Amino acid sequence: MNTPAGPPDAVRPYGDTTDDGMVQLSFTLPLPHGPLAEGAALQLARRMGMERPLLVHARPVGTEFSFFVVYGAVGHRVDLDSVRVVEREYPLLSAQEANEAVHEGLGRELVVVGACIGTDAHTVGIDAILNIKGFAGQKGLEYYLSLRVINLGAQVSVPDLVSRALSEGADAVLVSQAVTQRDAHLSNVRELSAELDTAYEGRTRPLLVVGGPRFDPAMAAELGADRVFGRGTTPDDVASYLVHALAEGRPRPTEAAAAPAGPDGGKPPVTGRSTA
């Protein structure tokens, strides 16, 4: 019986045939649609390293812009052993398992305060995680009997969120950010992290959990967050993390004295290629 071969050490994109390196690239140029814009699109693709680029789609966007789709080959390979990813180091729990773990570990409700901060008015993400109706067939955190959830909604200022976290005795602060122009999502989270550090000086700070489609989970330490979730995150992902991080007898933040961080700062492991 033949043993299935493992994954290769390095990969290239697949288009028409194995290892042909074919990719599809879409972009917009600030040029009216026409021959000049199409020539500029092809030249851009070549300068990006694309071999034999083909312009497979072009259309005007208004009168001053043009949208393009270019198809061609790239010569690059990805060494899989050099890929760094955040591994999930905790089990996924059902709502019942999470409730039991919080009851046994904390002996009280786990308090979660969530919001979209700054000018971000997109509540789809925070509602998908917090609202009882949930997302992808999973109930949101409001469904969990062991969790008390305060959803502040959209366009909440950082000082207001920190103040509410203090008054509610929050164990965790959840933030969803969809607006990413000029990296607003990154600056907003850094501002919130700094404000939490100041407000909770001398006490244990609530967990700061961040989510949104443009976040890189490996950026947690850089942003001052405890966990970053990217696209495709579901309520049980977040609930399981909160239970893992908080339901081990951790005291309420407003009552606790600050404790020194461990050697890894409490951040999730960033590892190489998974063998799971």
pLDDT tens track for 125-184: 889 999 998 888 889 999 999 999 999 999 999 999 999 999 999 999 999 887 767 777
Q: Which helix (H) or strand (E) holds 240?
A: helix 235-246
State the amino acid at position 77 in one-letter form: R
pLDDT number for residue 150: 96
Task: Say if residue 274's pLDDT is above 50.
Answer: no
pLDDT tens track for 227-249: 999 888 899 999 999 999 987 54
Q: Which of 56, 66, 61 is nearest to 25 (CA)?
A: 56
Evaluate if pTM is beyond 0.95.
no
Tell me, yes or no, if 267 is annotated catalytic.
Answer: no
Q: Which residues, including other chains, have CB under 8 Å from residue 5's CB and lie 6 or more apart?
A: none
pLDDT tens track for 41-84: 999 999 999 999 999 999 999 999 999 999 999 988 888 888 77
CA–CA separation, 251 vs 29, rounded Å?
A: 54
pLDDT number for residue 164: 96
Q: Please, are residues 93 and 240 in contact by the beta-carbon 8 Å criterion?
A: yes
**Could you tell me where the DSSP H helices lie in 106-231?**
124-130, 158-168, 184-199, 220-223
What mean pLDDT value characterizes the chain?
Answer: 85
Q: Which of 57, 133, 214, 231 is catalytic?
A: 133
User: Mind listing the domains of the chain with CATH numbers?
Assistant: 10-79 (3.30.30.60), 87-256 (3.40.50.280)
State the amino acid at position 39 in one-letter form: G
